[in-house]
Structure 1
Amino acid sequence: MPEKKTAQVATVQSLDRGLAILQAIAATEHPVSLGQVAELMDIDRSTAFRLLHTLKRRGFLAMPAGRKDYILGSTIWVLHHHYNWNKMLVKVASNQLKKLSSQTRETAHIAIREGKQALFVDCAAANHMVAVSSRIGEFLPLYCTAHGKALLADADEHELKQLFGTRPLRKYTEGTLSTLAEIVKDLSVINRQGFAIDDAEFSPDLRCIAAPIRVGGEIIGSIGISAPILRVTPEANRINAERVSDVAIKLGEILAALQEDE
């Protein structure tokens, strides 16, 4: 039987070359000159210059003071720090996440903000026959989920306008807050009480609670739980909100202490 041919997907040559340049410069101990890049990539100097200039303008490369060669720029280190910080959050929060899930008997998640969305980066499954499925790697809207609103808690109206514009946002359910005025009002409540609630705003079958994890006053993630709406009583909601808030505060304190030790 003849082998199935794998479909060839076209690549963007300039992007491919730019990434190759970053890899090459990262692998060297010394700054790299324009001529060295042109020779290494087997391209003319004008093409090499345009690629290097673009990478420098975006902060991926920099030129040491008084020199005309290139080193990795601040954007690379910001991305590296962001990646390491998120890994640190998941590592530190793992035990607390499992404990929260065990205490509440509901699925617990850790999330971080990625642009206009919240991203689940870790979870602990609930000990229930009927439970919310674990969803690591899933993106959710910021404005109508507990995790999203916890991550947005410090945003003012100006930032919200930059993120979402001024038109009404998509309504996922009848309970979805879809205007900036509604979201601003809700964020004010979240800041005052220390946690966010998604009461069937994103999914009609779920009630979720999340709290922002703060380090040095900055929100770096969120922790929360998700449960079938029919199972959550007002009393359970109150107790679980306290548990979620307490865990978020504790994680912030642990991460702040680790940051001081760096």
Structure 2
Amino acid sequence: MKSKSILYHKEVFNIKQDHLVSPNISAQPKNNTVTAVDKALKILDAFTYGQPELSLAQLNRMLKIPKTTLFNHICTLERAGFLYKVNNTQNYRLGYKLMELNYFAHSSLPIMPYAVPLMEELCSTFDENVYLTTHIDGRVLYLKCLHANVHSIAYSVSGKTLPMHCTSCGKAMLSYMPHEEVVRILETHGMPAITQKTHTDFDSFMEELALCRERGYATDDEEESIGGRCVAVAVRTPIGNVAGALSISGSVMSMTDDKVSGCANTLLEACHVLMPHAHLFPAIQLQKG
């Protein structure tokens, strides 16, 4: 049985009260960085998907922090659960405390009560995976995924980031950003070829964004993952600022042209429903001013 219509959710959502406000970051002092905290954050930020395990010597070379100071910071982070030492080595990895904080941050996102019911309906209607994303620092940040097939390998994407130029969500969001911001993002992060089908030419990519803007949705045809096809629509505030995106993703076999068209039309409706609540997306809440 199909779930209630998108318009039903619009009526329900209009009853809810948006009582959360964005933090006024600009009101905070600009020169209030605590050096010790700044160093600790740089240590944590040094760990990446490609380098999940680092030694004291490696961190010293990367961060240029004196070894004694660095060791003291690492010990403090280790005691607090933010790092742990790998058995029988001198290497460190990110600790469980970050997983705990990620869960708290994810589960308390104020957009979730509005977005999840829509995602559930989309997942049920099209029997494909549904993603909720936002943009942070010029990258796509994944907030939630609902998996259509309970027998498929389901893993959490909360907190995962990807380049904007190779994903349908990224392209949908870029298509409504000011030209100067798009250029800045692409210059900062580049346009690496994630697959052989990824857009890597600036001019042709700008033409792609113009097409996305014209039709109201973006697609990813094996540009981020071979065998995958996705369609996404941007969520914008009432004044047009890009807050995030919703996408439906499946295989190139299941996501036929007709299905992509149907998904796009329903996503457009869903994102229109989310528009009054777009200020609850992280990208908008983190804006200064």
The two structures share one fold, judged by TM-score above 0.5 = yes
1:90 matched to 2:112: yes
Q: 2:199 aligns with which of 160, 177, 191?
A: 177
CA–CA separation in structure 1 for the residues paired with 2:254 and 2:172: 23
CA contact (8 A) 1:111 1:119 kept: yes
The 5 Å alignment of 1:24-173 reads 87-127=109-149, 129=151, 134-165=156-187, 169-173=191-195
- Where structure 1 has 5 or more consecutive residues not aligned to the other structure, the ranges are 1-11, 20-82, 257-262
| Structure 1 residues 17 and 166, CA gap change in structure 2 (3 angstroms) | closer
CA–CA separation in structure 1 for the residues paired with 2:197 and 2:127: 25
CA contact (8 A) 2:194 2:223 kept: yes
CA–CA separation in structure 2 for the residues paired with 1:135 and 1:171: 21
Q: CA deviation at 1:187?
A: 1.1
- Where structure 2 has 5 or more consecutive residues not aligned to the other structure, the ranges are 1-32, 41-104, 280-289
SS in 2 for 1:232: coil
| Letter of the structure 2 residue corresponding to residue 247 of structure 1 | A
Q: CA deviation at 1:181?
A: 1.0
Q: CA deviation at 1:88?
A: 2.2
Q: Which residue of 2 aligns with 1:187?
A: 209
Q: CA deviation at 1:183?
A: 1.9
Q: 1:15 aligns with which of 36, 40, 52?
A: 36
CA–CA separation in structure 1 for the residues paired with 2:128 and 2:241: 27
CA–CA separation in structure 2 for the residues paired with 1:254 and 1:161: 28
CA contact (8 A) 2:235 2:278 kept: no
CA contact (8 A) 2:163 2:189 kept: no
Using structure 2 for the length normalisation, give the TM-score.
Answer: 0.56
| Letter of the structure 2 residue corresponding to residue 202 of structure 1 | E
Q: Which residue of 2 aligns with 1:232?
A: 255
CA–CA separation in structure 2 for the residues paired with 1:140 and 1:17: 25
| Structure 1 residues 133 and 182, CA gap change in structure 2 (3 angstroms) | farther
CA–CA separation in structure 1 for the residues paired with 2:190 and 2:38: 41
**Percent of counterpart pairs with the same letter?**
22
Deviation larger for 204-213 or 124-133: 124-133
Q: CA deviation at 1:160?
A: 2.6
1:246 matched to 2:269: yes
For each residue in 1:141-167, what CA deviation from the matched residue of structure 2 results, as whole angstroms up to 9, or x when unmatched? 101100111121223443233222299
CA–CA separation in structure 1 for the residues paired with 2:223 and 2:273: 28
Q: Which residue of 2 aligns with 1:44?
A: none
| Structure 1 residues 182 and 101, CA gap change in structure 2 (3 angstroms) | same
SS in 1 for 2:245: strand
CA–CA separation in structure 2 for the residues paired with 1:167 and 1:93: 29
SS in 2 for 1:162: helix
CA–CA separation in structure 2 for the residues paired with 1:125 and 1:167: 29
| Larger Cα-atom Rg | 1
| Letter of the structure 2 residue corresponding to residue 140 of structure 1 | L
Q: Which residue of 1 aligns with 2:243?
A: 220
| Letter of the structure 1 residue corresponding to residue 218 of structure 2 | A
Higher relative contact order structure (alpha carbons within 8 Å, sequence separation ≥ 6): 2
CA–CA separation in structure 1 for the residues paired with 2:165 and 2:38: 38
Q: CA deviation at 1:122?
A: 1.4
CA–CA separation in structure 2 for the residues paired with 1:91 and 1:188: 32
CA–CA separation in structure 2 for the residues paired with 1:17 and 1:157: 33
CA contact (8 A) 1:106 1:126 kept: yes
| Letter of the structure 1 residue corresponding to residue 222 of structure 2 | A
CA contact (8 A) 1:211 1:223 kept: yes
Q: Which residue of 2 aligns with 1:202?
A: 224
| Structure 1 residues 13 and 243, CA gap change in structure 2 (3 angstroms) | closer
